[in-house]
Every structure is written in structure tokens, then in C-alpha cells.
Amino acid sequence: MREVSRRRGAAPTIREVAEAARVSRATVSRAFGRPELLRPATVAHVRAVAAELGYLPNAVARGLSTGRYATIALVVPDIANPFFPPLVRGAQQAADLAGYGVFLGDSDEDPAREDALLARFTGQVEGVVLVSSRLRAARVREHAERRPVVLVNRDLAGLPRVLVDPTRGMSEAVEHLAALGHRRIAYVNGPRTSWAHQQRRRTLRRATDARGLDLVTVDARRPTYDAGIACVPGLLATGATAAVAFDDVLAQGILAGLAGAGVDVPGDLSVVGCDDVVAATTTPQLTTVSAPAGQAGRAAVDLLLGLLGNDDLRDARYVVDTRLVVRSSTGPATTR
């Protein structure tokens, strides 16, 4: 091996490896990124010299030449919403098992920011898990043409997706409330562009219609604690004896707003949440539709990694079921 001088403490460069191994810099690059283009003996020699020098190949540079970065991106609409951290953790677990890193992006419920994040990640990852996208369908498809995309809670034909299906859990919620004597139920909605919101509202409508119950809608605009508090006057004005919130965070705010207004839960009004992410920590403990976010995250990454080597998965559809968990926030209907 040729002696190479370099600065004390400085990391070895590809040029120094090339000089020490008496090969070109292109050969060093290929030895790590495209070894199939070289003789096995050359690959072994270059890697041995690199190891002796303590050289670590640049993963990004290698990805630029091979298209293989061993990284994926995960984009969520609101990392502060407790539904998403378990999903992120599940995705990370699946990626770790496959030797992949995960870049996380938070769009803050802003379609323009989501679009920018996807554009930024395109040149750095092998594929994207896009969760609860707020983008127009056409724009999602444009991004999917540049890099493999797996959707979570967005049902677009021709794109692989993981869907948390509210049908079972929401139907059980309506059945539970009907058995308690509730005849008028309010749905406190989520983001209008959210697939999950649209599916939950549609399922509630079908279930209440099937039982001859009234369903009214209360607008909360964004699924936040403060929005839950703010919507309480409108909720009380509906005359409903039970409310189903788009998610647990919204329901938590509703519980706080009702307490501030002197409304007893469940004595005066029953409240049901969705997702089961903070339900056991509220006062009273929240009856909720449980959605296994971690399972959805793991399934999405598994599907994406499978898609990278198999176009047959391009229209795959993986469905995760929900169920009702009954706690203390629902009780018999009272005349209001």
C-alpha cells in the first residue's frame, strides 16, 4: 500500500484511498457502490485499504450513483397529534429490521408544506410513506411517479395503501349509544380533506340511518384540544345527548369545555373519541374507537420495502380493523 500523508485527525478521503490502493477514485467509488462492475479481487483490495485507513463511504454520494440510499421518508400531517407517534415508532421498527433509516417530515396540516417536503425528500430516499395526505389526488400521483409511495389513510386506486377502517369500531359505537337510549348523536368533525374524517362520518351516517337515529355535525376545523373546547357551545346547541369526536385529542378538549360549562359527562352528555391514544388518561376515561396506529406504521413500511422490488404490489390494499373500547364517558341518555 502506498504511504499517504494527510492532516492529523482528518477523516480519510476517497482520493487518499485511491492513492493508497493505486487505483482511480472511480474504482474506489465502484468498490462500495457498484462492486458488480469490478473484479472481486479489486473490490477486496480497495475495501481492505479503506478499512486500514478508516475510510467510511458517503452514503448520500453512493445513493446518487446507485439509486440505493437505504433510507425512506415518512411524512405526517401533525406530529403533535398523539395518533402519529405510535405510527412513527411502528414504521421505525419495521425499517430498523430491514436496515433502513427513516427521515421524518411534519407538514403541520399544510398541503403546500407537504408538497415541499416530498419534493425535498425525493432525491435522498428510496421511497416514501405518506400518512393522511392533504394533497390533491393528482399531486400525490405525480410524486408517486418520481419515487415509490405508500399511502396511509388515503385510498387512491393504483397506489399501495394501508387503511385504518373505521367501519367496525364506529358501528359498535353507534350500537353502544343506541343501547343506552341515545336518539340524537353529534359528530364533531375533523379536517375536511382528511380521508379518515370522511370515512368516519360516512360510517356514522350509515349506522345511525340503519337504526333510525338523528346525526348532526359540529364543525371543529382542526383536531386540537383548543378546537374541542371552542366547539362546545355549538355542540350543546344541537340538542344531542351524545357526541362522537373525530379523534381523542378533540374529545379531550370537548371534555374540558363541557366541564367548564358545568355539563356532567356522562350524566348530561356522553362523549366518544377515536384512536385510543389518550383515552385512558382523560377524566372521565374516554370511550373510544381504538385504531392500531403502530400496526399501520409497520404495515406501511413493510409494503414500501416490498414495493421497491416488486411492481405487483403497486395496487396493494392493506386494511387494519378498529374496535370500540368502552370506558366511563358514556352512559344512559337523559332528556335535555
141-151 tens-digit pLDDT: 999 999 999 99
Taken in order of first residue, the domains within the chain and their CATH numbers are: 14-66 (1.10.260.40), 71-164+293-320 (3.40.50.2300), 166-291 (3.40.50.2300)
Per-residue exposure over 73-87, b if at least 16 CB sit within 10 Å of its own CB, e if not = bbbbbbeebbbbbbb
Could you tell me what percent of the chain has a pLDDT over 90?
Answer: 72
- Give CA separation, 150 vs 94, 121, 167, 197, 257, in Å: 14, 14, 22, 19, 38
Q: Quick: pLDDT tens for 150-173.
A: 999 999 999 999 999 999 999 999
- HSE (CB half, 13 Å, CA atoms) of 314? 9
Q: Nearest CA to 132 among 158, 104, 161, 157?
A: 161
pTM of the model: 0.77
DSSP class per residue in 142-178: HHHHHS-EEEES---TTS-EEEEE-HHHHHHHHHHHH
**How far apart are the C-alpha atoms of 251 and 268, rounded to whole Å?**
16
